[in-house]
Structure 1
Amino acid sequence: MTKANSPTPLYHRVYAVMRERIVNGYYPDNVPVPSEAELSDSFGVSRITIRKAMEMLSAEGLITRMRGRGTFVTDRAQQSALNRAVVSNINGLFSYLNTVGQSTRLKVISLDRGEAPPRICAQMGIAPTTELIRSVRLRELDKRPYSLSMAYLLPEIGAGLTRQDLASTNMIDLVQREGAVVEQVEQVLTATLADEDAAELLQVPIGAPLMRVNRFFFDDKMVPFYAAEILYCADRYEYRVSLKREQGRDFHLDGSQPG
């Protein structure tokens, strides 16, 4: 299937491939997925390995085993509320963050003061030595790591935050409670790899692919006061954007405006 010296167990590699197939609609929901024997031949692994992978998928609620009928993909596998389209306005983003908050569980890793990474300082337009309020939190979905988030806030916004606040409330709600007005949000999505710390917290191998989302929040004077960096497990996160045609604003290759 893959290199024999891979640090990832065989059953977990089978699970990852099967999960990717399921969430992408590879298997119809009204047709049983291949049997353990068929999957064993397909992946070139033992049936015990396939069985462990299928048990993980079943525990996650992605498949249902029916005695005498076979194994089927569940409805929830392709209808996760966390994978819905995000519209390009602040209210849409806040609604999405609220959905994530209601669907996941927070674990506070740290809360302290110190410098942010240089790339964060550059985006916020502050000196690399600027002292910021820093927090690290882990989100869990279905009792498994879903995302790892790092927050960097100006002291006038984040000084009053406590670990108790961070364990129960979305950061965007906390900063607005502290009096911040969110006028604009800039968001950047990139692919990255798990370092030692991220790998341990997200329970993935070092070097595993991750999706990195950076969000920068600006106040009513267009001054950035809060930067968020979120790492998502690549097999558990999907980001969608819905693009709509603006009536009367069709694009023309010759540069002319619509008549």
Structure 2
Amino acid sequence: MNKLASPTPLYHRIYTVLRERIINGYYPADLPVPSEAELAQSFGVSRITIRKAMKILSDEGLVTRARGRGTFVTDHSQQHRLNRAVVSNINGLFNYLNTVGLSTTLRVISIDKSEAPPRIAVLMGIAPDAQIVRSVRVRDLDGRPYSLSIAYLLPEIGSAIQEDDLAQNNMIDLVQQAGARVDQVEQVLTATLADDYAAQHLQVPVGAALMRMIRVFVDARLGSFYLAEILYCADRYEYRVALRREPGQDFILDDIQSG
């Protein structure tokens, strides 16, 4: 393992690798994970470093140490996965957002009305000087920040939403209660790096790898009324899409004749 050019402690980098392996089913639940000595040799580090990484995993409830038997992945470790499959339709997205809401807790950072930033105005198709309602929230999973969510809303929808509402409800529920109808959703997933603001709220170093999800929600009457920009810690987030073949929509290749 490269020990240079990283502000993150070595034991924490090993912890994130082991955590990803556990969550992705790398270690069978009925067999012990490699011993401290085996892991130390594999990563090329000291047993003390491995011990620190394993302690974090144990504190999170991802592994259990059994005296005389070894360390085992816990049965409920897979519950830490919020990467449920999402089919490519609005109902599938709503189900996913509901799952995230039930699995995490919310902290409201701010809510205010201001002028739409230029890039947000372009994405929403509104005037650069248009007023929008902006809210910032952090979702926590297992006592640690999971995502930083920034919502931009048209005033006719956002003005009806109070801070108390934001602390207890999914935004998608709040906008529908405010009178919006979700007829279309456009989303883009990209990789990015944490700036000082994101680093502060996600408790990661500046420059840490993040995943950015931008979703634009469209109402046939209102147009683009809500844009969500969500930043996820890259080591805690995986997004899946299940694609289904629609009946009668088979793609048939042309019969190409060679001369």
Scaled to the shorter chain, the TM-score interval is over 0.9
**Residue of structure 2 equivalent to 1:178:** 178
For residues 64-112 of structure 1, the C-alpha deviation after alignment (integer angstroms, 9 at most, x for no partner) is 2111111112233335462210112212211211111111110011111
SS at match of 1:13: helix
CA distance in structure 1 between the aligned counterparts of 2:82 and 2:24, rounded to whole angstroms? 15
**Residue of structure 2 equivalent to 1:10:** 10
CA distance in structure 1 between the aligned counterparts of 2:182 and 2:81, rounded to whole angstroms? 24
The runs of at least 4 aligned residues of structure 1 exceeding 3 Å deviation read: 78-81
* Alignment-mate amino acid for residue 155 of structure 2: P
* 1:223 Cα offset (Å): 0.4
SS at match of 1:229: strand
Contact 1:214 1:227 in 2 (8 A): yes
CA distance in structure 1 between the aligned counterparts of 2:154 and 2:117, rounded to whole angstroms? 14
Contact 2:193 2:208 in 1 (8 A): yes
* 1:255 Cα offset (Å): 8.0
SS at match of 2:241: coil
- Superposed, which structure 2 residues align to 1:8-157 within 5 Å? 8-80=8-80, 82-157=82-157
**Residue of structure 1 equivalent to 2:164:** 164
| Ranges in structure 2 where 5+ consecutive residues have no aligned partner | none
For residues 101-156 of structure 1, the C-alpha deviation after alignment (integer angstroms, 9 at most, x for no partner) is 11111001111111333332111101222111001100000001100000000111
The structure-2 alpha-carbon separation of the partners of 1:255 and 1:130, relative to structure 1 and needing over 3 Å to count, comes to farther
* Alignment-mate amino acid for residue 250 of structure 1: D
* 1:247 Cα offset (Å): 3.1
* 1:60 Cα offset (Å): 1.7
Contact 2:23 2:80 in 1 (8 A): no
For residues 3-62 of structure 1, the C-alpha deviation after alignment (integer angstroms, 9 at most, x for no partner) is 334210111111011112222222222221111111122222222221111111112222
* 1:231 Cα offset (Å): 0.6
* Alignment-mate amino acid for residue 36 of structure 2: E
The structure-2 alpha-carbon separation of the partners of 1:50 and 1:155, relative to structure 1 and needing over 3 Å to count, comes to same
SS at match of 1:82: coil
**Residue of structure 2 equivalent to 1:195:** 195
CA distance in structure 2 between the aligned counterparts of 1:32 and 1:84, rounded to whole angstroms? 26
* Alignment-mate amino acid for residue 108 of structure 1: V
* Alignment-mate amino acid for residue 37 of structure 1: A
SS at match of 1:235: helix
* 1:189 Cα offset (Å): 0.9
CA distance in structure 2 between the aligned counterparts of 1:254 and 1:119, rounded to whole angstroms? 42
TM-score (norm 2): 0.93
* Alignment-mate amino acid for residue 213 of structure 2: V
Sequence identity (%) = 71
SS at match of 1:198: helix
- Number of residue pairs matched? 256
* 1:158 Cα offset (Å): 0.6
SS at match of 2:13: helix
The structure-2 alpha-carbon separation of the partners of 1:252 and 1:36, relative to structure 1 and needing over 3 Å to count, comes to same
Contact 1:184 1:218 in 2 (8 A): yes
The structure-2 alpha-carbon separation of the partners of 1:242 and 1:90, relative to structure 1 and needing over 3 Å to count, comes to same
CA distance in structure 2 between the aligned counterparts of 1:204 and 1:47, rounded to whole angstroms? 25
CA distance in structure 2 between the aligned counterparts of 1:143 and 1:79, rounded to whole angstroms? 15
* Alignment-mate amino acid for residue 225 of structure 1: F
* 1:201 Cα offset (Å): 1.0
* Alignment-mate amino acid for residue 82 of structure 2: L
* Alignment-mate amino acid for residue 250 of structure 2: D
